[in-house]
Structure 1
Amino acid sequence: MKMMKKQAQAGFTLIELMIVVAIIGILAAVAIPAYQNYVAKSKFAAALGEVSAAKTPFDVMMNDGAGPAAIGDLPVQASTANCTLALVAANGGLTCTIVGGPTAVATKVITLTRTAAGAWTCAANVLAADQTKIIGPAAVCTANG
């Protein structure tokens, strides 16, 4: 009588594969929202940087006594990959409407307002609940959405 040899197991069992899939699902549930917050924060920071770059030429024109009448009067691009710039009425400041990006920041408006003394304030119409996720806890801008 011939003896049958038991073959060694090759591969993973169904239970082992299900455990791996569950672990990957848990990691994705944590990582995806964190990544979305990171992308929103970086898009907001890029847009804020672009609108902030227009402050200096705006100040120069105001100090020369002739404030800009249109965004085209400033030596900046009116539309970039991150925002569309516009002037606040009557030399009050600048706005940046964020272009693209995640829902948390898409079409949100960053407003830089210049005081008569030349100081700048920043406000953004993001939700107050999203402020720490997008703007940061030490807010560069105040949330007014």
Structure 2
Amino acid sequence: MKAPKGFTLAELMVVIGIIAILAAIALPLYQHYVAKAQVMAALADITPGRTPAEIILTEPVLGSWIKGTTAATKPHQLGLASSTPRCHNISVFMTGGSHMPQMDGDTYITCVIRGNALVNNKAIKWIMLNTAYGLYEVIRDPRGGTHPPIKGPPVGGRWFCVTDVPEPLWPAGCKGALPPRSSDGY
């Protein structure tokens, strides 16, 4: 009589159980990886709009702007699509400043993310604030304790990436809010 060849039912059940456990661990990790990639891709979709925004703000071609007026409200004004495979919609808001060139305007370029359940309908945006606000970043003193905060670099005229997606999914350089800022002269 020949010895039976192959696996027993118990051995097959153990193999299937191990595969199921590995899949249960890997699937959430993969979804997290995909969500982070979707956030970075959404940011990449709106990043090209920063250069045209700066050109609009610095070129004195639109001399009819009045302080506080809206300079751009449509994505196509910055060379962006109104939606992409990674953004449900892209919105733009730019205000005119008080002088020419217009660097005193505020600029917001926003993408409502299209992605998996971790990031769908969350927003990621580029923000550049008015230089005339006179705001500075507030930096905590590394010595800690009772030392007062340190006056950091000016906030106006710099681009900030801000998002409401969970922190582990933030692209490098993005934050959940603008940096702490103050007009005090510390």
TM-score with structure 2 length normalisation? Answer: 0.65
Structure with bigger strand share is: 2
Q: Secondary structure in 2 aligned to 1:7?
A: coil
Per-residue CA deviations over 1:20-66 (Å, capped at 9, x if unaligned) read: 01110111011101110111011100001111111111111011244
* TM-aligned CA deviation for residue 68 of structure 1: 2.0
Identity %: 34
Distance 1:15 1:106 in 2: 43
Structure 2 unaligned regions, length at least 5: 63-70, 96-105, 131-155, 178-186
Identify which of 130, 140, 143 aligns with 2:173.
Answer: 140
| C-alpha contact (below 8 Å) 1:112/1:123 kept by paired residues | yes
What is the total number of aligned residue pairs between the two structures?
Answer: 132
* TM-aligned CA deviation for residue 78 of structure 1: 1.8
Identify which of 93, 99, 123 aligns with 2:108.
Answer: 93
* TM-aligned CA deviation for residue 16 of structure 1: 0.3
Structure 1 unaligned regions, length at least 5: 1-5
Distance 1:85 1:135 in 2: 19
Identify which of 26, 30, 36 aligns with 2:25.
Answer: 30
| C-alpha contact (below 8 Å) 1:59/1:118 kept by paired residues | no
Q: Which residue of 1 aligns with 2:41?
A: 46
Q: Which runs of 4+ in 1 moved over 4 A?
A: none
Structure with bigger helix share is: 1
Per-residue CA deviations over 1:77-128 (Å, capped at 9, x if unaligned) read: 22111112101363432111112x21111111112111224211111111xx
